[in-house]
Chain A
Amino acid sequence: MESSQTLPGNMQKNQFKSEQFKIAIIAVGVIYTVLLIAWAVSAVMDYHKASVVLRKAQGKRVLLEKDLADLKTGIVRFKQEREKFETLLFKQKDIPTFLDEMAGFARNSKVNIMDLATRTLAKVAIPDDVTSGVSEMQRAKMMDQNDKEQSVIMYLPVQITVNGRFEGIVDFLNRLERYRLLTTLTDVAIEVKEYPKLQCSLTVNIYSLKDVMK
């Protein structure tokens, strides 16, 4: 037997209100839950985004640190190369020693130093083929750098005239060429004066590294 119970009108009204209230509460609850979850999801998403940004920044920092370390290593290597290079060049204190030693070479080679004069200190020129193949702007920059550059190779020409026998002159030149520091011999000229005595004039260039301000 089917049975049902029905409520009077005002009770239905009450029930209707209750149902409405329940639906309203549930709706508010759902909205509230959705908003809360949305907030939480937003927080999680923000966290995730921030994590990604942080990871990228940390990666960038690692690259920068590596780059910095490479730069430092490169600079240290350059300084070491420069120091090594400098050991081949004259320093200010080496010039008097060199002159003394040159006098010793003359004595040992049995030649007489007739004349010895130093000329003006000058900067070693850059050959054209080094700057060829670069643009005008780069060339200007290079030249500008060259002017600004603090470290340049300078050379001091020392003009010498010696007098002696051929073997002595050859030995003297040999000693100069084999000097422990970088030297070049230019403008070599040998003439017969009173045979077998010969007169040899030459220019010994001694090189040094100078810090030149523009």
Chain B
Amino acid sequence: MPRMPDIELEEVIGSEIEKMPAFAAKEFEFGYYRCLTSSIKLQVIYSSIPKEIVTVIQAAARALKLPLESVEASPLNILGFAARLSKGAEEAFVVVDDKVSYVMVISKNQCRFFYSCGVGLLDLGVAQDTASRSQAYSAWAGEIKRILKSYMLEFKTDPKRVWLAWDQESVTDLALSLGKELGKEVKALDLVSASGVSLGALKSISCAYVVCCAPILNYCKHLSRGFPTVRLLRGDIAKKFQAQLIRVALIYAVGMAVVVGIVGLVFKIQQLNISRNLAQVNADIARAESVTAQYRVEKNKYLETKKMLLAQATTIKFLNRVSWSRVFGEVAEELPEGICLTSFKVSGSQRVEFKGDAFKIEDVSSLMRKIDATTVLTNPKFDFLRENNIEQKKIFSFGIFADVAREYAEKSVQK
């Protein structure tokens, strides 16, 4: 075929299949190989199978509980057997269907050539007498020979042996007729005996469909699948694939949920513990704040009290912490002769008032100077001076003010 896009190619193949008598007015499935033989030419090997056969295959697979993935459908469905029988040698396989005969050449376990002709078992079995039958057989064999000759012309080789598969119950001596026509060894391909499966298991299936069981037999006999399959069971496989995908997805979901859930839960639990601890800490903080506030009020009260007490102590300090005994001692010591003190008073404002009598005014002045010189009194001032005559003698009554020296008072307080 000329090279063309896949969509067009499929349309062409579909129309080609529809032209075949076996698929006329039937539903079918098909698959194909597309091989590029040159830059512009395509070699296409396609296979088709009626829908009803697909249904039978599915039913058989289900009945035998076979995994659908192992079911494969290939043209003539005998590739596994062919590869096993030919053992890599170049051999031809002819399968005779009701209306069509298929010719396939296997070499090195690969299908190198595939062809069909419109003569089948129905054509061969119609003839009643021997002569007619022989003529029909000869015509059919000639067709096969011509096909194989075209193969020889194309590939320049000649298959050494021909395997023939057909319904041997309806038509006999077909292998012999073909052998004579081709001049080669033609062997009947007994699928049932080759598969090792008892015929009884296949009785319910028409012999016409026995070849369809080849994939099943392939699976049972562990035969290789050399020929690429057309995945006719794609729908079921897809369902299974989807189911498996769902299972995997569920396992993944559960796994992820478990792993992430454990991680998340661990942190959630930790968070809950932290929240619990936080509540406890907040309660402690609230209690501590309350107690602290009480203590702060109490401390402030004490501080105020302390301040007030200190203030009162300061008042006491400035009251009169003068050592009066010392003041009197110093005054008595410094009192000049001729002076007689009659009164000594100290007011609350630390002012000292002296009153006395003197014979001379100079004695009063001397007293004032001495008062100023003492460490306990300072700033002497006159209050009054009066002259009196007592017993015809001049007596001076005087009054003097003085202040208690501040330095002395503070020293006394410190002591």
Contact = CB atoms under 8 A, between A and B. Distances in A.
A3 B245 contact: no
A210 to B, nearest CB: 11
B234 A61 contact: no
Contact of B267 (A15, A43, A131, A149): A43
Nearest to A88: B313
Contacts of A96: none
Contacts of B342: 191-192
A189 interface: yes
B316 A153 contact: yes
A22 B316 contact: no
A115 B252 CA distance: 110
B329 A170 contact: yes
B316 A207 contact: yes
A186 B348 contact: yes
Q: Which of A10, A72, A186 has the most CB of B within 10 A?
A: A186
Nearest to B268: A43
B29 A11 contact: yes
A166 B267 contact: no
Contacts of B10: 6, 8-9
Contacts, number: 238
Interface string A58-74: 10110011011001101
B256 interface: yes
Contact of A142 (B301, B304, B343): B304
Interface string A14-47: 1101100110010011001100110110011011
Interface residues of A, number: 88
Contacts of B260: 36-37, 39-40
A145 B301 CA distance: 8
A185 B282 contact: no
Contact of A11 (B234, B274, B291): B234
A10 B29 CA distance: 9
A118 interface: no
Interface in B231-257: 231-232, 234-235, 238, 241-242, 245-246, 249, 252-253, 256-257
A205 B319 contact: yes
A173 B324 contact: yes
Nearest to B7: A6
B94 to A, nearest CB: 25
Contact of A28 (B249, B257, B344): B249
Secondary structure at the B interface, as helix, strand, loop or mixed, is: helix
Contacts of B274: 47, 50-51, 53-54
Given A8-B29, A71-B295, A124-B312, A3 B285 contact: no
B79 to A, nearest CB: 15
Contacts of B303: 78
Given A21-B245, A187-B348, A190-B344, A130 B267 contact: no
Interface centre among A17, A145, A155 (most CB of B within 10 A): A145
Contacts of B9: 6
A7 interface: yes
A127 interface: yes
Interface string B136-163: 0000000000000000000000000000
Interface stretch (B31-39, B173-181, B189-197, B206-214): B31-39
Contacts of A184: 316, 319-321
Interface in B266-284: 267-268, 270-271, 274-275, 277-278, 281-282, 284
Contact of B238 (A14, A25, A123): A14
27 contacts: A5-B32, A5-B33, A11-B235, A28-B249, A32-B253, A36-B256, A36-B261, A40-B263, A40-B267, A43-B265, A44-B263, A53-B278, A64-B289, A78-B303, A78-B306, A127-B318, A149-B301, A166-B332, A170-B329, A177-B323, A186-B348, A187-B346, A188-B324, A189-B343, A189-B345, A192-B343, A205-B319
Interface of A: 1-11, 14-15, 17-18, 21-22, 25, 28-29, 32-33, 36-37, 39-40, 43-44, 46-47, 50-51, 53-54, 57-58, 60-61, 64-65, 67-68, 71-72, 74-75, 78-79, 81-82, 85, 123-127, 130-131, 142, 145-146, 149-153, 155, 166, 169-171, 173-174, 177, 182, 184-192, 202, 205, 207, 209
Interface of B: 6, 9-10, 14, 29-37, 228, 230-232, 234-235, 238, 241-242, 245-246, 249, 252-253, 256-257, 260-261, 263-265, 267-268, 270-271, 274-275, 277-278, 281-282, 284-285, 288-289, 291-292, 295-296, 298-299, 301-316, 318-321, 323-325, 328-329, 332, 340-348
Given A21-B245, A191-B343, 4 more contacts: A64-B289, A123-B312, A145-B304, A186-B319
